[in-house]
Each structure stands twice: as structure tokens, then as C-alpha cells.
Amino acid sequence: MSEKIKIAVLDDYQRVSGAFADWTVLCDHADITVFDKHEANEGLLAEQLFPFHVICVMRERTPMSRSLMSKLSNLKLIVSTGLRNASVDVQAAEELGIPVKNTGYVTSGAPELTWALLMAIARKIPQESGQVRSGLWQTTIGTDLKGKTIGIIGLGRIGTKIAGYALAFEMKVLAWSPNLTKEIAEAAGAVLVSKDMLFSSSDFITIHIVLSNKSRGMINKDDLSLMKPTAYIINTSRGPLIVEEDLIQILKQRKIRGAALDVFDMEPLPPEHPFRTMDNVLATPHIGFVTEDTYKVFYQDTVQAIQDWIKSR
């Protein structure tokens, strides 16, 4: 390739990729274009990305599907942030001769955000902060954590950290997932229970399951209907784990106290989506991994992966 390599950095919403890595090391070999706006229309996206040889994707923000990649005849390399990215069709990329490289990851961001959301809904921090700005004072009453029960769905790396946080706050910890064993639960300080028991007994429910064909929609209205009217549900894993319409109806009917959500079926969340305006929903824009330390790893590893690829050509 005698011409300069064209690199596209997608979905850099805050335009910070240049602040977290030194991209100038690529300038002798490449021209770099940063896109800060998400394009969901595949046809328009294909036109936009057609000239590029290297595409850098941020987690699941822009799916690299077979149909999209097949339209990008100039594409020679995909670099995806994170250890895995379910929205990149790796098999299709391999068949099309497009290597896919992944970056490292910082594991503390998602569990820390989960606990921040839990505490924010329990103590009604967003509401009270807003009331202070409006000139009011003490308009709500918070929920204690000590002595309450948290139900953790999925006791892997993140779920185990959440169990540790909960124990530090003197909470009772229940856990369930399809393949969870009593021994693993006990090692994390949790009690293994049935799915129905977890939903009916917990004051807070938090989800930490990997999204797959089996887990998609694993939480539905039957599960949500078992929850206490005073209970909260938190999802920082993936939106489609919960049947979205079922959750919306449960919240509209106020059958539970509220939800804290960082992930959604469609991202960015559409402007008119009910989650943006419901007073019993605390919504954040998928920021579990959006931290300074994580972005340093993401973008520095991305630059290194491109450098290694250039040297190997």
C-alpha cells in the first residue's frame, strides 16, 4: 500500500482519543479521522467508512456486521477496545480476510458504577441534588443498605466484586445464575437461591450476565412481577438481558420502586424513549467503562495494535 493508510476512530463521543494516546506516532504512515457522532444507518455508515483501511471501534457502539464489512472493500484491519466485542462478527471478518485486534481493559469501572447507581437510587441523590439547585431542602427519604438483601444475577468477575461491596455495607447477599454452584456462591459470601426466590426476596437486584442468545430476554414480566413494591433493579451489563417493554410496564404501573440503568436495547437511547423521562428511572449513557484509566488502556493499545500491523505488512 503506497498511499497513506486511512484510519477511522468511531464513536469518540467526547473527542478525547487524542488526549489519551499519542497518535502522532502514526502520522508518517496514516491519516486519522475521528468521528464523534454515531451513525446507526448501515447504508450511510458504509458510505462514510468506505475509504478507510483501519477502523477503530469503541466496544459495542457501532456493530461490525457481515453486511457492513462486505461493503468495505478497503478495510484491512479492525481494532476493537475491550477484551471482547460481541457486536463484531469475528467469523465474517476472518472469512473476509480482515484481522480483528482487541485491547486491554480495566475491570474496576463497571462494578464501581454499579455501586454508585445503587447508592444513588437508594438515597435519591439525583432528586435531592436537583431540589437543592431549585432552592428546596430535604424532599425525599432514603433507603438504608445495612440489613437489606441484594440479589446478584451472575456471580462472575463483576458479580463477585458487587458481593464484596454489599458485604462491606452489611447486606445479605443472594445469588443466582443458570450454572452457579453452591460452592462458588459461598466463596463469594453469597447464598445460592432459585431465580424466583431471588426476585421475591431482594431489596436490590443487580444483573451481571454476559449477553448471548441464551441470556437475551432472560428477565421478563414474570420475574419482575415477583419483586417487592419497594425493590429496585440495576442493570449495568447489557440492555437486552431484560425484556425492555416488560420493564417499562412494571415501572409505569409502579409495581417496583425504581430502576437504575446504564445499558439499553438501542444505544444511544432514542430522544423520545420513556426511560429519559420516567421519574422512577435513573438512566446513565453506558458509562460503566468510561473512565480515565480505561480510556488510556483502550486508546494506547489501539495505537500499538495499528503500529504492530503496519510493521507486519
Task: List, by residue number, the catalytic residues.
Answer: 238, 267, 286
Cα separation, 139 vs 131, whole angstroms: 8
Q: What is the number of other CB atoms lying within 10 angstroms of the CB of residue 48? A: 16
Task: Say how far apart CA 270 and CA 288 lie, in whole Å.
Answer: 19
Question: From residue 117, how far is each of 110, 144, 300 by CA, in Å?
Answer: 11, 14, 29
- All cell numbers assigned to 140: 425525599
Amino acid at 72: L
Provide the 10 A C-beta neighbour count for residue 251: 21
Handedness of CA 72, 22, 298, 84 (dihedral sign): positive
Taking the C-alpha atoms of residue 190 and residue 176, their distance in angstroms, rounded to an integer, is: 9
CA distance to 18, 50, 195, 206, per residue, from 33 (Å): 11, 13, 47, 38
